[in-house]
């Protein structure tokens, strides 16, 4: 009788442990999943060298879209938990996500190294629900995380839906960023080449989003 | 206050129902041993929750191992298997088969994982009380603490009530209702696990997304379903108490029976009242907590050819004043003016910020607060760029007037679309 109970107990515990291992496998699968976002960052790090690997950065990013070419920029979007930020932006109570736009340079004649983060941009975001209603809108702030600088904002997005995300990029010259024009020191190009018809934008339809418990 | 009451209720009330009923059911199957094992499971769950909360708040360990979401998936995996084994052995136990020990162990694992999942978030709420510029002695802090404590008290009452009523009804009825509630919860936790895996792109497909979208957008529905199932027990007991036919031999025994049923009625009433409060939390209180603050009306000011003129006398009382200008494109652009404390200067900016858009600002207890994110502005920094501060606009001071040129408002009209 006692033996049977012990055997049953061992069997039960064995089952639980195997399940815990199952959880670990899922985690391994998560890491093995090729998240293009991470690849983009690694590529960028060849140039910047200063930003930490996302794995070392200590947070898990959820991809929205990766590697969209917008003019001279490579654009990716991710989200993760809302984060407190300096300068009066510590409160994260009412936000669901931190939406991040990663912008790195493609081959260009504007003086950016391949994969460089592009500063001095104004990046607006629009998130539209499947019913066509605007769910979130604003202008990203510029900030640094442990994996480097980016454009981002804490966003309230508490409804699960298939969203359409649009990022609009303004000419860096609007924020006072200049380019050398002489042939000796200038990179050869100007922003007019890309922004002659106004702002650049990228829209990704089909972001299947559900709020997460962080 | 209400936000914390609602959040605590949402996080742990359902776990309190299940664990309360388990505390009634498990000992009635496996006696003192069952109760002991169940308690060990609960204590282990609380300990795991405390460790998780500390690790989450002070280290990167949780994030480095997949984030809180993946940890929830792991907890759900253990919980779901414990649930299945629990079901199998409930059936065997009800058939008077042997296996009570395994039944108790898996009930304990189930209870432990329910606590482990639900509690860490609640334990971390106090860490947010002093955010938002609130000091430890401010009313905002005390209200948040009060909401949090009320939520915990409600949860404890639900646990005690469920345990008390669960003991007073037939074993099979408690088992059935508990199992239905566990099934609803089990289904929800599986979908929550899928939600994490879908967000991480580990599982894909429209069918899964549509399922998790529905369960995510209707999470309160599961709380209602579990409460509806649970409320059957106190309702049955109330009905029974109206018609007690227990035999007695003397008046002392009669008094004893009456006292017993009085107690049962009290516990039943308490549990029903708790469920009503939870329902109020999810409906009326949630509506109040999410109510958008009505902005104070726009004030009149003198509009001349190129600019708006606001006399100092109109805005020197230290309160928030709101003005507006309708652009040629028929867009109303609002801006705010507030005299800075202990200063002769004014804070002037759009009634909108880069982060929260045109949501606007309102005055609360002498502070300027963003209507969307509830961030309290430092009045002295209004007029400076950054964060949730009002978007900066051009203005000048002329002969006792604040002069806001029309062009600066037209330039920013896109903020108000």
Q: Are B345 and B352 in contact (CB under 8 A)?
A: no
Residues from chain B that touch A9, judged by Cβ atoms under 8 A, are 101-102, 105
Q: What angle do CA B386, B392, B397 make, to 5 degrees?
A: 135
pLDDT, block means (10 residues), chain B with 417 residues: 89 96 94 95 97 89 82 94 92 80 95 96 84 63 89 97 94 94 96 93 92 95 97 95 88 92 95 97 90 82 90 90 91 91 87 80 83 76 79 90 92 81
pLDDT category of residue A43 using cuts at 50, 70 and 90: very low
For residues B18 and A16, which has the higher predicted lDDT (pLDDT)? Answer: B18
Cross-strand pairs, A207: A163
| pLDDT level of residue A208 (50, 70, 90 thresholds) | very high
* Site of tokens 């590697």: A67
pLDDT at A92: 80
Residue in chain B nearest A34 by alpha carbon: B201
Which pair of tokens denotes residue B109? Answer: 């694992």
Interface predicted TM-score (ipTM):
0.72
Closest CA to A124 of A58, A179, A202, A186: A202
Domain B302-416: assigned CATH number: 2.102.10
In this complex, do B85 and A161 lie within 8 Å of one another by their Cβ atoms? no
The pair of three-digit structure tokens given for residue B357, joined into one six-digit string: 């858009």
CB B406 within 8 A of CB B325: yes
**Residue partners of A183: CB distance under 8 A and separation at least 6:** none
For residues B210 and B221, what is the distance between their CA atoms, to the nearest angstrom? Answer: 16
Interface of A with B in 132-191 (CB under 8 A): 137-139, 141, 153-154, 156, 159-162
Cα end-to-end distance, chain B, whole Å: 33
C-alpha distance from residue A156 to each of A85, A95, B136, B193, B356 (Å): 15, 4, 27, 22, 9
Please give the backbone phi and psi of residue A101, each rounded to the nearest 5 degrees, phi first: -115, 120
pLDDT of residue A46: 40
* A118 C-beta neighbours (distance < 10 Å), count: 22
The pLDDT value recorded for residue B189 is: 93
Alpha-carbon span A63 to A186, nearest angstrom? 36
Mean pLDDT of A160-179: 94
- The domain spans of chain B are 2-289, 302-416
pLDDT at B365: 75
Report how far residue A182's alpha carbon sits from residue A159's, in angstroms, rounded to the nearest whole number.
52
Q: Which helix (H) or strand (E) holds B46?
A: helix B2-58
Q: What is the pLDDT of residues A74-102, one digit of tens each?
A: 999 999 989 988 876 777 877 899 999 99
Decide if pLDDT at A68 tops 90: yes
Nearest-angstrom CA–CA distance, A129 and B103:
46
Q: Determine the 3-state secondary structure of B224 from DSSP.
A: helix
**Has residue A162 got a pLDDT over 50?**
yes
CB contact under 8 A, B375 and A91: yes
Residues whose CB is less than 8 angstroms from the CB of residue B213 and which lie 6 or more positions away in sequence, other chains included: A160, A161, A162, A208, A210
The pLDDT value given to residue B414: 80
- What is the pLDDT, as a whole number, of residue A13? 46
Q: Do A89 and B212 count as a contact with CB atoms less than 8 A apart? A: no
Question: Does A22 sit within 8 Å of B202, measured CB to CB?
Answer: no
List, edge to edge, every strand of the sheet that includes B367-370.
B361-364, B367-370, B376-377
Per CB-CB distance under 8 Å, the chain A contacts of B388 are 88-89
Q: Report residue B119 CA to chain centroid gap.
A: 12
- Give the pLDDT score at B69: 87
Average pLDDT, chain A: 79
Is the Cβ of B74 closer than 8 Å to some Cβ of chain A? Answer: yes
pLDDT level of residue A3 (50, 70, 90 thresholds): very low
Q: Give chain B positions within 8 Å (CB) of A84.
A: 131
| Beta-bridge mates of residue A153 | A99
**Cα→Cα distances B242→A7, A84, B265, B268, Å:** 48, 56, 9, 13
- Cβ contacts of A20 within 8 Å, gap of 6 or more: B74, B77, B78
CATH class of A35-209: mainly beta
User: So what's the pLDDT on residue B289?
Assistant: 84
- For the CA atoms of B197, B203, B209, B211, what is the dihedral angle to 10 degrees? -80
Looking up tokens 């200038």, which residue turns up? A186
Taking CA atoms, A187 is separated from B93, B195, B229, in Å, by 80, 47, 71
Predicted local confidence at residue B130, as pLDDT:
66
Residue A53 in this model has a pLDDT that exceeds 60: no
Look-up of token digits 């948040």: B144
Is there a contact between B49 and B15 (Cβ–Cβ < 8 Å)? no
Nearest CA in chain B to A16: B78
Widest distance between CA atoms in chain B: 99
Tell me A11's DSSP state: H
């Amino acid at each position: 009788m006692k033996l049977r109970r012990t055997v049953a107990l061992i069997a039960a515990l064995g089952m639980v442990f195997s399940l815990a291992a199952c959880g670990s496998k899922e985690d391994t699968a998560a890491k093995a999943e090729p998240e293009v976002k991470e690849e983009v960052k690694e590529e960028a790090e060849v140039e910047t060298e200063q930003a930490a690997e996302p794995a070392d950065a200590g947070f898990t990013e959820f991809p929205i879209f990766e590697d969209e070419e917008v003019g001279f920029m490579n654009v990716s979007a991710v989200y993760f938990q809302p984060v407190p930020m300096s300068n009066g932006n510590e409160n994260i109570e009412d936000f669901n996500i931190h939406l991040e736009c990663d912008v790195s340079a493609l081959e260009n004649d504007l003086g950016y190294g391949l994969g460089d983060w592009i500063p001095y941009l104004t990046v607006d975001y629009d998130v539209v629900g499947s019913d066509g209603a605007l769910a979130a809108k604003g202008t990203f702030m510029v900030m640094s995380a442990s994996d480097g600088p980016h454009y981002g904002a804490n966003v309230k997005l508490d409804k699960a839906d298939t969203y359409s995300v649009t990022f609009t990029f303004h000419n860096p010259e609007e924020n006072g960023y200049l380019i050398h024009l002489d042939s000796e020191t200038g990179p050869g190009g100007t922003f007019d080449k890309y922004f002659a018809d106004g702002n650049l934008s990228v829209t990704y339809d089909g972001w299947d989003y559900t709020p997460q418990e962080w | 206050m209400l936000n914390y009451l609602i959040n605590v209720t949402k996080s742990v009330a359902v776990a309190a129902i299940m664990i309360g009923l388990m505390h009634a059911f498990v000992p009635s199957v496996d006696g003192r041993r069952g109760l002991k094992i169940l308690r060990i499971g609960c204590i282990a769950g609380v300990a795991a929750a405390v460790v998780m909360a500390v690790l989450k708040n002070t280290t990167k360990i949780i994030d480095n191992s997949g984030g809180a979401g993946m940890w929830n998936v792991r907890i759900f995996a253990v919980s779901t298997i414990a649930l299945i084994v629990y079901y199998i052995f409930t059936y065997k136990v009800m058939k008077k088969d042997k296996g009570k020990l395994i039944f108790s162990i898996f009930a304990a694992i189930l209870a432990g994982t329910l606590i482990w999942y639900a509690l860490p978030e609640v334990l971390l709420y106090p860490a947010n009380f002093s955010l938002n510029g609130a000091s430890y002695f401010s009313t905002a802090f005390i209200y948040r603490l009060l909401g949090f404590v009320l939520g915990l008290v409600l949860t404890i009452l639900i646990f005690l009530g469920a345990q008390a009523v669960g003991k007073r009804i037939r074993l099979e009825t408690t088992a059935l209702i508990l199992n239905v509630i566990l099934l609803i919860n089990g289904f929800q936790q599986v979908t929550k696990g899928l939600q994490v895996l879908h967000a991480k792109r580990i599982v894909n497909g429209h069918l899964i997304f549509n399922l998790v979208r529905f369960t995510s957008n209707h999470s309160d529905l599961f709380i209602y379903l579990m409460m509806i199932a649970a409320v059957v027990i106190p309702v049955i007991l109330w009905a029974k108490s109206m018609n007690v036919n227990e035999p007695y031999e003397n008046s002392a025994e009669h008094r004893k029976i009456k006292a017993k049923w009085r107690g049962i009625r009290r516990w039943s009433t308490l549990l029903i009242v708790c469920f009503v409060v939870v329902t109020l939390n999810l409906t009326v209180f949630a509506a109040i907590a999410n109510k958008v603050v009505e902005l104070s009306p726009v004030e009149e000011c003198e509009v001349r050819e190129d600019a708006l003129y606001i006399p100092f006398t109109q805005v020197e009382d230290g309160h928030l004043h709101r003005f507006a200008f309708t652009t040629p494109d028929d867009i109303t652009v609002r801006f705010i003016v507030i005299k800075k404390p202990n200063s002769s200067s004014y804070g002037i900016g759009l009634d909108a910020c880069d982060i929260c858009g045109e949501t606007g600002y309102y005055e609360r207890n002498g502070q300027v607060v963003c209507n969307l994110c509830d961030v309290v502005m430092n009045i002295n920094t209004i007029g400076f760029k950054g964060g949730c501060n009002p978007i900066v606009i051009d203005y000048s001071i002329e002969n006792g007037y604040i002069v806001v040129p029309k062009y600066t408002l037209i330039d920013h009209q896109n903020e108000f679309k």
